[in-house]
Chains A and B, each alone.
Chain A
Amino acid sequence: MSKLRLSRSDRVVLAVMVGVPTLVQAVLVWIPTLLSIGLSFTRWNGLAVSDIEPAGLSNYRFAVEDYPPFWPAVAHNVIWLAFLALIATPLGVALAVVLDQNIRGSRIYQSIFFTPVMLSLVLVGIIWQLVYARDDGLLNNVLGTAGTPGAVDWFGDPDVNLWAALVATAWRHAGYIMVLYLAGLKGLDPTLREAAAIDGANGRQTLFRVVFPAMKQINVLVVVITFIEALRAFDIAYVINRGTNGLELLSILVIQNLVGEGQVIGVGSALAVLLLVVSLVPIVIYLVRTFRRAS
């Protein structure tokens, strides 16, 4: 690589372009992260800095041993991940493959499937409330059980509400994956398909033997996004009942313990650090792959 000479103005531009995002990252992400890690080993009421007391591992012990919602939350995140990976993501990919066939009205379908991704949290909450409400909701009325003792309490029954929330999540997630995947498919070199057709491959063979392998980059991205979405699952459960009664999730426990009146900074930080450690696994795998390829 030949040595590059940069003029003074180049350097200034570079400094601004690299410096500003780095700064924003440092101030908004890295410094708070390091502070959280530090605070997770302390007891603090969030008021004066002098009130901070060292607490060793007691916050972690509390989270794992004494805090009843912790293990249900872990289990729910795992179920969330399995559901997204096995159902919602494949559904999004399938939608993309189908819509890539230039069927009539493809754009309309794309818009319809993508709409949930663009809706605000509040709207999503209202929409699903209309569907799932016990006595005047759409679902129970269609099932004919509304108003009877046999009506399923979609939000209130802790054996059911996780699945109700997962269906609502899949509704958004599939649209998101669809758009990503569709963009990848559109960018695929058409000669690949032509070559496959000339070699006598049928549609299914083309899809599984030619298109999917060629989409490797997007596939990895989709897997990583699915992981991250499962770990940061938050909004729909929070809108339904603030993540209690069968809808506990790690991210919600973090928020509950760190923000608002229920603030217990040490415990909340410990929960956040645990979530961070878990989240780092897929992110590191992704970054290692990306950088290895780049170099």
Chain B
Amino acid sequence: MTQSRRTVLKGAAALGAIPILAACTGGDPASSSDGKATSLGSGLADAVPKSGIQAMVDGFQTSSGDTVRLNVMPRDQLVNNISTYLQANPEDVITWFAGYRMRFYADKGLLAPIDDVWEKIGANFGTGLAAASSHEGKKYLVPNYNYPWVVFYRKSVFQQHGYQVPKTFDALVALCAQMKKDGLSPIAFGGKDGWPAMGTFDYLNMRTNGYQFHVDLCAHKESWDSPKVKAVFDNWKALLPYQDTAALGQSWQQAAKNLANKKSGLYVIGTFLLQEITDKSVVDDLDFFPFPEIAVEGTEAVEAPIDGFVMSKRAEKNKAAKDFLAYLGTPAAQDAYAAKDPSNLQTAAGANTSSFSPIQKKAAELIAASKNVSQFFDRDALPAMASNVMIPALQGFVKDGTIDTRGLEAQAKTLYASA
């Protein structure tokens, strides 16, 4: 038996070599560059946004005669596999986000610069949007829509108790104290998934230290172990007793119910809240105010993440892909999307705003009046910093009001060095 076993092993070893060798050969050649066909990889898989993207694709195909192959995948699949996706066999145009999330992949040469597209559509976008679409002087993103983070409340609750919209942080804390006396849970909060707490952190940080500090901290050009960061958490400590103590056990959707049924007085969240609260009588009763000023810059910075489109490196020479991107940056295309998904705000100037709800109008004005637009912590910072470090750290802070800024800095050092 011994002899034949050796032969068998040899055979197994020979078999083992085949797929390893096969794996070394490259993928298939670049997509067609005849200029009449392109493709779109979309991470917008929910029914409503999906139909919006389809409307954009249909609009382009009708107006240009080019064909677009649409590949819809779940958002998490796109986001979690983006490195491998971009390196393997990506579609020409891909739904993506502004901020570090775009700059990182642009920097690694996985996205194609689209300055020639911007020559056609640049006039449609203001300087804030243009800056958010750029990396080292080149454009990489065509913005589609954005939505601001604000403080929501119910008008009837404010009327009933005679509350005033707070302009300063001190007024906000005083208002919360009053709400608590009146038997309300002052600020609705859902932190089970971790990321919603970043909205509160970002605003406290920008209002305490300014927009530029937010950007530099997210890029780790500023230390976490600094008096400025400690000041942010000190301010948060004033607010923490008024945030829902059940925050860590509930999602943001569950927390939204507390605002809707008047258990909570306020809610710091993005305007995507309106995808969750759909009861017309409640929606009509909703209003919001910008996060109040604390120390610097008043309320001139707004957190308004931008979703848009990027082009993969391999599509660089495909004329149809560029035509498609140019179309996506027109008011007509963005209106086609917004007609299907009205919870966001088109970014292109001249887009149709006549169908805006009062909340949307106010949100658009808020963004237009802002000097600086941040993108949310998990879009502005290294993803590993956001998901592996900040989420546990913020949950720990929400739990007992303690934060280890030295530990944050130690982790940031290692993670940013690996990027």
Contact A244/B414 with A22-B12, A156-B248 known, Cβ cut-off 8 Å: no
B9-25 interface with A by 8 A CB criterion: 9, 11-12, 15-16, 19-20
Q: Are B249 and A155 in contact (CB under 8 A)?
A: yes
Contact check, B399 vs A134: say whether CB atoms are below 8 A apart: no
Query: CA separation between A37 and B1, bound complex, in Å?
Result: 35
Where the two chains meet, the residues of B that have a C-beta atom closer than 8 Å to any C-beta of A are 1, 4, 7-9, 11-12, 15-16, 19-20, 76, 79-83, 87, 108, 110, 192-194, 246-250, 383-384, 386-388, 391-393, 395-396, 399, 404, 407, 410-411, 414-415, 417-419
User: Is A251 interfacial (CB-CB < 8 Å)?
Assistant: no
Q: List 28 A-B contacts (CB under 8 A).
A: A3-B1, A4-B4, A14-B8, A15-B8, A15-B11, A18-B9, A19-B12, A22-B15, A45-B108, A45-B418, A45-B419, A46-B83, A66-B411, A68-B407, A155-B248, A156-B246, A156-B248, A157-B249, A242-B193, A242-B194, A244-B391, A245-B392, A248-B392, A257-B388, A261-B383, A263-B83, A263-B383, A267-B415
Cα(A11)–Cα(B11), bound, Å: 10
Q: Which of A6, A66, A69 contacts B4 (CB 8 A)?
A: A6
Residue of A at shortest CB range from B101?
Answer: A261
Smallest distance from the beta carbon of A45 to chain B beta carbons, Å?
Answer: 5
Known: A1-B1, A66-B414, A267-B418. 9 other contacts (CB 8 A): A11-B8, A15-B7, A18-B12, A156-B247, A156-B249, A158-B399, A241-B248, A257-B384, A262-B386
Q: What residues on B are CB-neighbors of A223 within 8 Å?
A: none
Q: Which residues of B are found within 8 Å of A11, using beta-carbon distances?
A: 4, 7-8, 11
Residue among B16, B87, B411 facing the most chain A CB atoms (10 A cut-off): B16
| Complex Cα–Cα for A68 and B388 (A) | 10
Q: How far is the CA of A19 from the CA of B20 in the complex (A)?
A: 15
Contact in complex: A23, B194 (CB < 8 Å): no
Decide if A109 is an interface residue (CB 8 Å cutoff): no
Against B, the Cβ 8 Å flags (1 = close, 0 = not) of A27-57 are 1000100000000000111111000000000
User: What chain B residues lie within 8 Å of A157 (beta carbons)?
Assistant: 248-249
A-B pairs with lowest CB-CB distance, top 10: A156-B249, A262-B387, A261-B383, A260-B80, A156-B248, A19-B12, A15-B11, A153-B249, A66-B410, A245-B395
The answer to whether B4 touches A67 (Cβ under 8 A) is no
Check if A261 sits within 8 Å of B82, measured CB to CB.
yes
Name, among A11, A47, A67, A155, the residue most crowded by chain B CB atoms within 10 Å (CB to CB).
Answer: A47
Q: Is A20 on the interface with B (CB-CB < 8 A)?
A: yes
Partner of B407, one of A1, A26, A66, A248: A66
Would you call A62 an interface residue if the criterion is a C-beta within 8 Å of the partner chain's C-beta atoms? yes
Q: Does A58 contact B (CB under 8 A)?
A: yes
A259 within 8 A of B: yes
Q: How far is the CA of A237 from the CA of B373 in the complex (A)?
A: 36
Please give, as numbers and ranges, the residues of chain B lying within 8 Å of A180 by CB-CB distance: none
Residue on A with the closest CB to B1? A4
